[in-house]
Protein backbone atom coordinates (compact mmCIF):
# COMPACT_ATOMS: atom_id res chain seq x y z
CA UNK A 1 0.00 0.00 0.00
CA UNK A 2 1.21 3.53 -0.81
CA UNK A 3 2.63 5.58 2.04
CA UNK A 4 3.66 9.22 1.93
CA UNK A 5 7.04 10.01 3.35
CA UNK A 6 6.96 13.42 5.03
CA UNK A 7 10.70 13.96 4.83
CA UNK A 8 13.16 13.53 2.00
CA UNK A 9 15.41 10.49 2.27
CA UNK A 10 19.21 10.96 2.26
CA UNK A 11 19.26 9.89 -1.40
CA UNK A 12 16.57 12.45 -2.28
CA UNK A 13 18.46 15.17 -0.42
CA UNK A 14 21.56 14.29 -2.44
CA UNK A 15 19.48 14.41 -5.64
CA UNK A 16 18.14 17.84 -4.69
CA UNK A 17 21.65 19.06 -3.90
CA UNK A 18 23.03 17.81 -7.23
CA UNK A 19 20.28 19.55 -9.22
CA UNK A 20 20.68 22.73 -7.15
CA UNK A 21 24.40 22.80 -7.90
CA UNK A 22 23.68 22.72 -11.63
CA UNK A 23 20.98 25.39 -11.27
CA UNK A 24 23.43 27.71 -9.50
CA UNK A 25 25.51 27.78 -12.68
CA UNK A 26 22.43 29.10 -14.54
CA UNK A 27 21.32 32.20 -12.62
CA UNK A 28 18.58 34.71 -13.47
CA UNK A 29 20.78 36.46 -16.06
CA UNK A 30 21.01 33.23 -18.10
CA UNK A 31 17.23 32.71 -18.24
CA UNK A 32 16.54 36.43 -18.77
CA UNK A 33 18.87 36.61 -21.74
CA UNK A 34 17.33 33.54 -23.39
CA UNK A 35 13.86 34.85 -22.64
CA UNK A 36 14.60 38.15 -24.40
CA UNK A 37 15.93 36.28 -27.44
CA UNK A 38 13.37 33.44 -27.17
CA UNK A 39 16.18 30.91 -27.40
CA UNK A 40 16.38 27.36 -26.14
CA UNK A 41 18.45 26.68 -22.98
CA UNK A 42 20.78 24.29 -24.83
CA UNK A 43 23.61 24.47 -22.32
CA UNK A 44 21.36 23.88 -19.32
CA UNK A 45 19.51 20.98 -20.97
CA UNK A 46 22.80 19.40 -22.06
CA UNK A 47 24.26 19.59 -18.57
CA UNK A 48 21.09 18.18 -17.04
CA UNK A 49 21.12 15.33 -19.59
CA UNK A 50 24.81 14.55 -19.09
CA UNK A 51 24.25 14.37 -15.34
CA UNK A 52 21.55 11.77 -16.05
CA UNK A 53 18.64 13.70 -14.53
CA UNK A 54 16.45 13.61 -17.63
CA UNK A 55 16.79 9.83 -17.74
CA UNK A 56 15.50 9.53 -14.17
CA UNK A 57 12.45 7.49 -15.19
CA UNK A 58 14.09 5.33 -17.85
CA UNK A 59 14.63 1.84 -16.37
CA UNK A 60 18.23 0.84 -15.68
CA UNK A 61 18.09 -1.95 -18.27
CA UNK A 62 17.69 0.77 -20.92
CA UNK A 63 20.43 2.97 -19.54
CA UNK A 64 18.41 5.23 -17.24
CA UNK A 65 18.36 5.68 -13.48
CA UNK A 66 15.06 3.82 -12.95
CA UNK A 67 13.96 6.20 -10.21
CA UNK A 68 10.41 6.56 -8.85
CA UNK A 69 8.27 9.45 -10.06
CA UNK A 70 8.64 11.15 -6.67
CA UNK A 71 12.34 11.63 -7.49
CA UNK A 72 11.67 12.87 -11.02
CA UNK A 73 9.18 15.32 -9.45
CA UNK A 74 11.87 16.49 -7.06
CA UNK A 75 14.26 17.17 -9.96
CA UNK A 76 11.74 19.38 -11.77
CA UNK A 77 10.55 21.10 -8.59
CA UNK A 78 14.16 21.94 -7.67
CA UNK A 79 14.85 23.50 -11.08
CA UNK A 80 11.80 25.76 -10.72
CA UNK A 81 12.47 26.57 -7.07
CA UNK A 82 15.89 27.82 -8.17
CA UNK A 83 14.42 30.23 -10.71
CA UNK A 84 14.93 28.10 -13.82
CA UNK A 85 12.47 26.39 -16.12
CA UNK A 86 12.27 22.68 -16.80
CA UNK A 87 9.62 23.22 -19.46
CA UNK A 88 12.41 23.05 -22.05
CA UNK A 89 13.02 19.41 -21.29
CA UNK A 90 10.29 17.99 -19.02
CA UNK A 91 8.38 16.26 -21.83
CA UNK A 92 11.20 13.75 -22.21
CA UNK A 93 10.36 12.32 -18.81
CA UNK A 94 6.71 11.59 -19.51
CA UNK A 95 6.64 11.03 -23.29
CA UNK A 96 9.18 8.27 -22.83
CA UNK A 97 6.63 6.42 -20.65
CA UNK A 98 4.35 5.83 -23.66
CA UNK A 99 7.19 4.09 -25.50
CA UNK A 100 8.15 2.16 -22.38
CA UNK A 101 4.64 0.90 -21.69
CA UNK A 102 3.37 0.33 -25.22
CA UNK A 103 6.38 0.27 -27.56
CA UNK A 104 7.91 -2.91 -28.95
CA UNK A 105 11.10 -4.33 -27.43
CA UNK A 106 12.88 -3.31 -30.66
CA UNK A 107 11.73 0.31 -30.27
CA UNK A 108 12.78 0.38 -26.62
CA UNK A 109 16.24 -1.07 -27.38
CA UNK A 110 16.69 1.26 -30.34
CA UNK A 111 15.67 4.51 -28.69
CA UNK A 112 15.67 4.47 -24.88
CA UNK A 113 19.43 4.01 -24.30
CA UNK A 114 20.17 6.84 -26.75
CA UNK A 115 17.57 9.06 -25.09
CA UNK A 116 19.18 8.26 -21.73
CA UNK A 117 22.66 9.35 -22.89
CA UNK A 118 21.32 12.41 -24.72
CA UNK A 119 22.41 11.12 -28.13
CA UNK A 120 18.75 11.48 -29.11
CA UNK A 121 16.26 13.98 -27.75
CA UNK A 122 12.62 12.98 -27.40
CA UNK A 123 11.10 16.33 -26.48
CA UNK A 124 8.28 16.85 -29.00
CA UNK A 125 4.76 15.65 -28.33
CA UNK A 126 2.30 16.28 -31.17
CA UNK A 127 -1.28 16.16 -29.96
CA UNK A 128 -3.01 19.58 -30.05
CA UNK A 129 -4.56 20.79 -33.30
CA UNK A 130 -5.98 24.17 -34.34
CA UNK A 131 -9.54 22.85 -34.70
CA UNK A 132 -9.55 20.20 -31.99
CA UNK A 133 -7.89 21.85 -28.95
CA UNK A 134 -8.91 20.20 -25.70
CA UNK A 135 -11.20 17.79 -27.57
CA UNK A 136 -8.40 15.46 -28.67
CA UNK A 137 -10.71 12.86 -30.21
CA UNK A 138 -11.67 15.41 -32.89
CA UNK A 139 -8.16 15.74 -34.24
CA UNK A 140 -7.94 15.77 -38.03
CA UNK A 141 -4.33 14.81 -38.77
CA UNK A 142 -4.33 11.49 -40.61
CA UNK A 143 -1.74 8.75 -40.97
CA UNK A 144 -2.75 6.37 -43.73
CA UNK A 145 -1.01 3.05 -44.33
CA UNK A 146 0.62 2.71 -47.77
CA UNK A 147 2.66 -0.49 -48.03
CA UNK A 148 5.53 -0.36 -45.57
CA UNK A 149 4.88 3.31 -44.75
CA UNK A 150 2.31 5.67 -43.27
CA UNK A 151 1.59 8.97 -45.01
CA UNK A 152 0.80 11.83 -42.64
CA UNK A 153 -1.26 14.89 -43.55
CA UNK A 154 -2.68 17.65 -41.37
CA UNK A 155 -1.71 20.36 -38.90
CA UNK A 156 -0.70 20.58 -35.26
CA UNK A 157 -0.63 23.61 -33.01
CA UNK A 158 1.54 24.60 -30.05
CA UNK A 159 3.94 21.68 -30.47
CA UNK A 160 6.84 22.60 -28.26
CA UNK A 161 10.51 21.84 -28.85
CA UNK A 162 9.98 20.39 -32.36
CA UNK A 163 13.04 22.36 -33.52
CA UNK A 164 15.20 21.06 -30.66
CA UNK A 165 14.06 17.45 -30.67
CA UNK A 166 15.27 14.52 -32.77
CA UNK A 167 12.16 12.46 -32.15
CA UNK A 168 8.48 13.28 -31.92
CA UNK A 169 5.63 11.29 -30.47
CA UNK A 170 2.66 11.96 -32.75
CA UNK A 171 -1.04 11.23 -32.30
CA UNK A 172 -2.91 10.91 -35.60
CA UNK A 173 -6.10 9.35 -36.93
CA UNK A 174 -5.55 6.06 -38.72
CA UNK A 175 -9.24 5.16 -39.12
CA UNK A 176 -11.75 7.85 -40.12
CA UNK A 177 -14.01 8.98 -37.25
CA UNK A 178 -17.12 7.84 -39.18
CA UNK A 179 -15.82 4.25 -39.23
CA UNK A 180 -15.21 3.77 -35.49
CA UNK A 181 -17.72 2.87 -32.77
CA UNK A 182 -16.36 5.33 -30.25
CA UNK A 183 -14.59 8.60 -30.96
CA UNK A 184 -11.64 7.49 -28.83
CA UNK A 185 -10.92 4.68 -31.28
CA UNK A 186 -9.00 4.87 -34.55
CA UNK A 187 -6.22 7.12 -33.23
CA UNK A 188 -2.64 5.88 -33.25
CA UNK A 189 0.67 6.92 -31.74
CA UNK A 190 3.89 7.10 -33.76
CA UNK A 191 7.47 7.56 -32.65
CA UNK A 192 9.06 9.49 -35.49
CA UNK A 193 12.59 10.56 -36.27
CA UNK A 194 11.90 14.10 -37.49
CA UNK A 195 15.48 15.07 -38.32
CA UNK A 196 15.41 16.39 -41.89
CA UNK A 197 12.17 14.55 -42.65
CA UNK A 198 10.41 15.56 -45.87
CA UNK A 199 6.83 16.85 -45.74
CA UNK A 200 7.12 18.50 -42.31
CA UNK A 201 7.15 22.27 -41.95
CA UNK A 202 7.83 23.75 -38.52
CA UNK A 203 6.80 27.37 -37.93
CA UNK A 204 7.95 28.84 -34.61
CA UNK A 205 5.36 30.83 -32.62
CA UNK A 206 6.37 33.78 -30.47
CA UNK A 207 4.56 33.24 -27.18
CA UNK A 208 4.14 35.11 -23.91
CA UNK A 209 7.06 33.15 -22.46
CA UNK A 210 10.15 31.44 -23.85
CA UNK A 211 8.69 28.04 -24.70
CA UNK A 212 10.02 27.00 -28.14
CA UNK A 213 6.55 26.18 -29.39
CA UNK A 214 5.48 25.78 -33.01
CA UNK A 215 2.78 25.20 -35.57
CA UNK A 216 3.43 22.03 -37.59
CA UNK A 217 2.26 21.29 -41.13
CA UNK A 218 2.34 17.76 -42.53
CA UNK A 219 2.17 17.46 -46.30
CA UNK A 220 2.45 13.80 -47.37
CA UNK A 221 5.06 13.18 -44.69
CA UNK A 222 6.12 9.55 -45.08
CA UNK A 223 7.18 7.53 -42.06
CA UNK A 224 8.20 3.86 -41.80
CA UNK A 225 5.37 1.56 -40.68
CA UNK A 226 7.46 0.46 -37.71
CA UNK A 227 7.13 3.99 -36.26
CA UNK A 228 3.76 2.82 -34.94
CA UNK A 229 3.77 2.41 -31.16
CA UNK A 230 1.69 -0.54 -29.94
CA UNK A 231 -1.47 -1.41 -31.82
CA UNK A 232 -3.03 0.70 -34.52
CA UNK A 233 -6.20 2.46 -33.33
CA UNK A 234 -5.37 2.34 -29.61
CA UNK A 235 -3.32 5.53 -29.43
CA UNK A 236 -5.79 7.56 -27.40
CA UNK A 237 -5.65 5.11 -24.50
CA UNK A 238 -1.84 5.06 -24.72
CA UNK A 239 -1.72 8.85 -24.43
CA UNK A 240 -4.21 8.77 -21.53
CA UNK A 241 -2.03 6.23 -19.72
CA UNK A 242 0.78 8.81 -19.64
CA UNK A 243 -1.38 11.63 -18.30
CA UNK A 244 -0.94 10.87 -14.61
CA UNK A 245 2.84 11.12 -14.84
CA UNK A 246 2.51 14.33 -16.83
CA UNK A 247 0.14 15.87 -14.24
CA UNK A 248 2.40 14.92 -11.30
CA UNK A 249 5.52 16.29 -12.99
CA UNK A 250 3.92 19.54 -14.13
CA UNK A 251 2.42 20.02 -10.64
CA UNK A 252 5.96 19.71 -9.29
CA UNK A 253 7.16 22.53 -11.53
CA UNK A 254 4.33 24.73 -10.23
CA UNK A 255 5.24 23.84 -6.65
CA UNK A 256 8.83 24.87 -7.40
CA UNK A 257 7.56 28.14 -8.90
CA UNK A 258 5.40 28.73 -5.81
CA UNK A 259 8.41 28.20 -3.55
CA UNK A 260 10.55 30.57 -5.61
CA UNK A 261 7.89 33.31 -5.52
CA UNK A 262 7.35 32.93 -1.78
CA UNK A 263 11.05 33.03 -0.98
CA UNK A 264 11.55 36.11 -3.18
CA UNK A 265 8.52 37.83 -1.64
CA UNK A 266 9.68 37.15 1.93
CA UNK A 267 13.20 38.42 1.19
CA UNK A 268 12.07 41.54 -0.62
CA UNK A 269 9.31 42.54 1.80
CA UNK A 270 11.70 42.06 4.73
CA UNK A 271 14.27 44.41 3.23
CA UNK A 272 12.15 47.10 1.61
CA UNK A 273 11.53 49.94 4.08
CA UNK A 274 8.66 52.29 3.33
CA UNK A 275 6.90 54.53 5.88
CA UNK A 276 9.79 53.77 8.24
CA UNK A 277 9.37 49.97 8.47
CA UNK A 278 9.74 46.86 6.34
CA UNK A 279 6.71 46.54 4.07
CA UNK A 280 6.47 42.87 5.21
CA UNK A 281 5.38 44.11 8.65
CA UNK A 282 2.09 45.26 7.09
CA UNK A 283 -0.57 42.60 7.19
CA UNK A 284 -1.74 43.67 3.73
CA UNK A 285 1.66 42.56 2.41
CA UNK A 286 2.39 39.67 4.78
CA UNK A 287 -0.93 37.81 4.69
CA UNK A 288 -1.12 37.16 0.92
CA UNK A 289 2.43 35.74 1.10
CA UNK A 290 1.57 33.57 4.12
CA UNK A 291 -1.63 32.40 2.41
CA UNK A 292 0.23 31.56 -0.80
CA UNK A 293 2.76 29.57 1.23
CA UNK A 294 -0.07 27.51 2.74
CA UNK A 295 -1.52 26.86 -0.73
CA UNK A 296 1.86 25.72 -2.05
CA UNK A 297 2.40 23.39 0.92
CA UNK A 298 -1.10 21.90 0.55
CA UNK A 299 -0.57 21.35 -3.17
CA UNK A 300 2.76 19.65 -2.42
CA UNK A 301 0.99 17.22 -0.09
CA UNK A 302 -1.49 16.31 -2.83
CA UNK A 303 1.40 15.89 -5.27
CA UNK A 304 3.15 13.63 -2.76
CA UNK A 305 0.00 11.54 -2.41
CA UNK A 306 -0.38 11.24 -6.18
CA UNK A 307 3.30 10.29 -6.57
CA UNK A 308 3.11 7.70 -3.77
CA UNK A 309 0.09 6.05 -5.43
CA UNK A 310 1.75 6.21 -8.85
CA UNK A 311 4.93 4.61 -7.55
CA UNK A 312 3.07 1.64 -6.06
CA UNK A 313 1.01 1.23 -9.23
CA UNK A 314 -2.27 2.18 -7.55
CA UNK A 315 -4.93 4.30 -9.33
CA UNK A 316 -3.97 7.97 -9.01
CA UNK A 317 -6.00 9.81 -11.68
CA UNK A 318 -7.95 11.85 -9.13
CA UNK A 319 -4.88 12.78 -7.10
CA UNK A 320 -2.69 13.55 -10.13
CA UNK A 321 -5.35 15.84 -11.59
CA UNK A 322 -6.03 17.54 -8.26
CA UNK A 323 -2.30 18.03 -7.69
CA UNK A 324 -1.91 19.69 -11.08
CA UNK A 325 -4.90 21.96 -10.43
CA UNK A 326 -3.93 22.93 -6.87
CA UNK A 327 -0.27 23.46 -7.72
CA UNK A 328 -1.02 25.69 -10.74
CA UNK A 329 -3.42 27.78 -8.61
CA UNK A 330 -0.93 27.96 -5.72
CA UNK A 331 1.91 29.09 -8.01
CA UNK A 332 -0.35 31.72 -9.52
CA UNK A 333 -1.40 32.93 -6.06
CA UNK A 334 2.26 33.08 -4.96
CA UNK A 335 3.19 34.86 -8.19
CA UNK A 336 0.58 37.53 -7.56
CA UNK A 337 1.67 37.99 -3.94
CA UNK A 338 5.27 38.27 -5.13
CA UNK A 339 4.57 40.78 -7.89
CA UNK A 340 2.34 42.84 -5.54
CA UNK A 341 4.92 43.13 -2.79
CA UNK A 342 7.61 44.14 -5.27
CA UNK A 343 5.55 47.15 -6.38
CA UNK A 344 6.99 48.59 -9.59
CA UNK A 345 10.07 46.37 -9.33
CA UNK A 346 7.89 43.30 -9.87
CA UNK A 347 7.54 44.47 -13.46
CA UNK A 348 11.25 45.16 -13.98
CA UNK A 349 12.98 42.40 -15.95
CA UNK A 350 16.10 42.37 -13.77
CA UNK A 351 14.13 41.04 -10.78
CA UNK A 352 13.03 37.91 -12.73
CA UNK A 353 9.61 38.10 -11.04
CA UNK A 354 7.79 39.13 -14.21
CA UNK A 355 9.49 36.32 -16.20
CA UNK A 356 8.56 33.66 -13.64
CA UNK A 357 5.06 35.17 -13.45
CA UNK A 358 4.60 34.67 -17.20
CA UNK A 359 6.09 31.17 -17.08
CA UNK A 360 3.99 30.03 -14.11
CA UNK A 361 0.75 31.18 -15.77
CA UNK A 362 1.02 28.54 -18.50
CA UNK A 363 0.21 25.65 -16.18
CA UNK A 364 -3.32 26.92 -15.65
CA UNK A 365 -3.87 26.26 -19.38
CA UNK A 366 -1.45 23.54 -20.48
CA UNK A 367 -0.98 20.64 -20.70
CA UNK A 368 -4.63 20.59 -19.64
CA UNK A 369 -6.74 23.57 -18.65
CA UNK A 370 -8.15 23.97 -15.16
CA UNK A 371 -11.76 23.68 -16.37
CA UNK A 372 -11.14 20.22 -17.77
CA UNK A 373 -9.56 19.13 -14.49
CA UNK A 374 -12.68 20.32 -12.64
CA UNK A 375 -14.83 18.47 -15.19
CA UNK A 376 -12.76 15.32 -14.49
CA UNK A 377 -13.19 15.65 -10.74
CA UNK A 378 -16.91 16.42 -11.08
CA UNK A 379 -17.57 13.45 -13.32
CA UNK A 380 -15.03 10.79 -12.37
CA UNK A 381 -14.44 11.51 -8.70
CA UNK A 382 -17.84 12.85 -7.60
CA UNK A 383 -20.01 10.92 -10.07
CA UNK A 384 -21.73 14.02 -11.42
CA UNK A 385 -23.15 14.23 -14.98
CA UNK A 386 -20.68 14.54 -17.84
CA UNK A 387 -20.39 18.22 -18.78
CA UNK A 388 -18.97 17.90 -22.29
C1 LIG B 1 3.09 27.40 -24.52
C2 LIG B 1 2.28 26.21 -24.88
C3 LIG B 1 2.91 25.00 -25.13
C4 LIG B 1 2.19 23.88 -25.51
N5 LIG B 1 2.85 22.72 -25.84
C6 LIG B 1 2.15 21.68 -26.37
C7 LIG B 1 2.82 20.52 -26.86
O8 LIG B 1 4.04 20.41 -26.79
N9 LIG B 1 2.07 19.54 -27.42
C10 LIG B 1 0.73 19.62 -27.53
O11 LIG B 1 0.12 18.68 -28.06
N12 LIG B 1 0.05 20.70 -27.06
C13 LIG B 1 0.73 21.73 -26.50
N14 LIG B 1 0.06 22.85 -26.04
C15 LIG B 1 -1.38 22.92 -26.21
C16 LIG B 1 -2.17 22.89 -24.93
O17 LIG B 1 -2.16 21.60 -24.38
C18 LIG B 1 -3.56 23.41 -25.29
O19 LIG B 1 -3.43 24.80 -25.49
C20 LIG B 1 -4.57 23.12 -24.28
O21 LIG B 1 -4.77 21.74 -24.18
C22 LIG B 1 -5.92 23.78 -24.61
O23 LIG B 1 -6.27 23.64 -25.96
P24 LIG B 1 -6.68 24.96 -26.78
O25 LIG B 1 -5.59 25.96 -26.63
O26 LIG B 1 -7.06 24.60 -28.16
O27 LIG B 1 -7.94 25.51 -26.02
P28 LIG B 1 -9.48 25.13 -26.26
O29 LIG B 1 -9.66 23.66 -26.25
O30 LIG B 1 -9.97 25.90 -27.43
O31 LIG B 1 -10.12 25.73 -24.94
C32 LIG B 1 -10.08 27.14 -24.66
C33 LIG B 1 -10.59 27.35 -23.26
O34 LIG B 1 -11.98 27.00 -23.22
C35 LIG B 1 -12.28 26.35 -22.00
N36 LIG B 1 -12.93 25.06 -22.31
C37 LIG B 1 -12.80 24.27 -23.41
N38 LIG B 1 -13.60 23.20 -23.32
C39 LIG B 1 -14.25 23.29 -22.15
C40 LIG B 1 -15.21 22.48 -21.47
N41 LIG B 1 -15.70 21.34 -21.97
N42 LIG B 1 -15.66 22.89 -20.26
C43 LIG B 1 -15.21 24.04 -19.71
N44 LIG B 1 -14.30 24.83 -20.30
C45 LIG B 1 -13.83 24.48 -21.50
C46 LIG B 1 -10.99 26.20 -21.21
O47 LIG B 1 -10.90 27.18 -20.21
C48 LIG B 1 -9.91 26.44 -22.23
O49 LIG B 1 -8.75 27.06 -21.67
C50 LIG B 1 0.77 23.98 -25.61
C51 LIG B 1 0.14 25.18 -25.32
C52 LIG B 1 0.87 26.28 -24.97
C53 LIG B 1 0.14 27.56 -24.70
Cα–ligand 1 centroid distance for 280 (angstroms): 37
pLDDT of residue 76: 98
Q: What angle do CA 349, 355, 358 make, to 5 degrees?
A: 140
pLDDT for 1 equals 84
Q: Is 136 in the pocket of ligand 1 (CB under 6 A)?
A: no
Domain 240-381 superfamily per CATH: Butyryl-CoA Dehydrogenase, subunit A, domain 3 (1.20.140.10)
Give the pLDDT score at 78: 98
CA-proximal residue: ligand 1, atom 12 (nearest) = 128
Instruction: Identify the pLDDT of residue 272.
Output: 98
Give the nearest ligand 1 atom to 375 CA: 42
Answer whether 125 contacts ligand 1 (Cβ < 6 A): yes
Binding site membership of 127 for ligand 1 (Cβ less than 6 Å)? yes
Domain boundaries, the chain: 10-117, 122-233, 240-381
Assess whether the C-beta atom of 67 lies below 6 angstroms from ligand 1: no
Centre of ligand 1 to C-alpha 135, Å, is: 9
Ligand 1 in reach of 138 Cβ (< 6 A):
no
Task: Work out which ligand 1 atom sits closest to the CA atom of 126.
Answer: 11
pLDDT tens digits, one per residue of 353-380: 999 999 999 999 999 999 999 999 999 9
C-beta separation of 292 from 262 below 8 A: yes
94 ligand 1 Cβ < 6 A: no
Q: Report the CATH fold assignment for 10-117.
A: Butyryl-Coa Dehydrogenase, subunit A; domain 1 (1.10.540)
In short, whether 177's Cβ falls inside 6 Å of ligand 1 is no
Question: What is the whole-number distance in angstroms between the Cα of residue 293 and the centre of ligand 1?
Answer: 28
Q: What is the pLDDT of residue 189?
A: 98
For residue 212, the CA-to-ligand 1 centroid distance in Å is 16
Nearest ligand 1 atom, CA 369 = 49
Residue with CA nearest ligand 1 atom 3:
158
122-233: CATH topology is Butyryl-CoA Dehydrogenase, subunit A; domain 2 (2.40.110)
Residue nearest to ligand 1 atom 27, measured at CA:
133
Q: What is the pLDDT of residues 125-143, one digit of tens each?
A: 999 999 999 999 999 999 9
User: Can you give the chain as a three-state secondary structure string?
Assistant: CCCCCCCCCHHHHHHHHHHHHHHHCCCHHHHHHHHHHCCCCHHHHHHHHHCCHHHCCCCHHHCCCCCCHHHHHHHHHHHHHCCCCHHHCCHHHHHHHHHHHHCCHHHHHHHHHHHHHCCCCEEEEECCCCCCCCCHHHCCCEEEEECCEEEEEEEEEEEECCCCCCEEEEEEECCCHHHCCCCCCCEEEEEEECCCCCCEEEEEECCCCCCCEEEEEEEEEEEEHHHEECCCCEHHHHHHHCHHHHHHHHHHHHHHHHHHHHHHHHHHHHHCEECCEEHHHCHHHHHHHHHHHHHHHHHHHHHHHHHHHHHCCCCCHHHHHHHHHHHHHHHHHHHHHHHHHCHHHHHCHHHCHHHHHHHHHHHHCCCCCHHHHHHHHHHHHCCCCCCC
Query: Is 134 touching ligand 1 by the criterion CB < 6 Å?
Result: yes
How far is the centre of ligand 1, averaged over its atoms, from the C-alpha of 371 (Å)?
Answer: 10
Give pLDDT, residue 388. 86
Q: Report phi then psi at 21, rounded to 5.
A: -60, -40
- In the chain, which residues have pLDDT < 50? none
Amino acid sequence: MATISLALTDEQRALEKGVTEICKRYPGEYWRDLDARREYPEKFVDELTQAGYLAALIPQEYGGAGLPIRDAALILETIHANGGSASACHAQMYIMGTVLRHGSEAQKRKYLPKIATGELRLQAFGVTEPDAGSDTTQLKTTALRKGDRYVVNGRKMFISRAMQSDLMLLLARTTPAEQVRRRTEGLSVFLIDIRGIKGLEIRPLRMMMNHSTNALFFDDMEIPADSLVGEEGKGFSYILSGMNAERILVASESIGDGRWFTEKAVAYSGGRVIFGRPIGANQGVQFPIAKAHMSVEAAALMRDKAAALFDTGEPCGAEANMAKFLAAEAAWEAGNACIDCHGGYGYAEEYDVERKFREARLYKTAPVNQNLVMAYVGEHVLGMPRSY
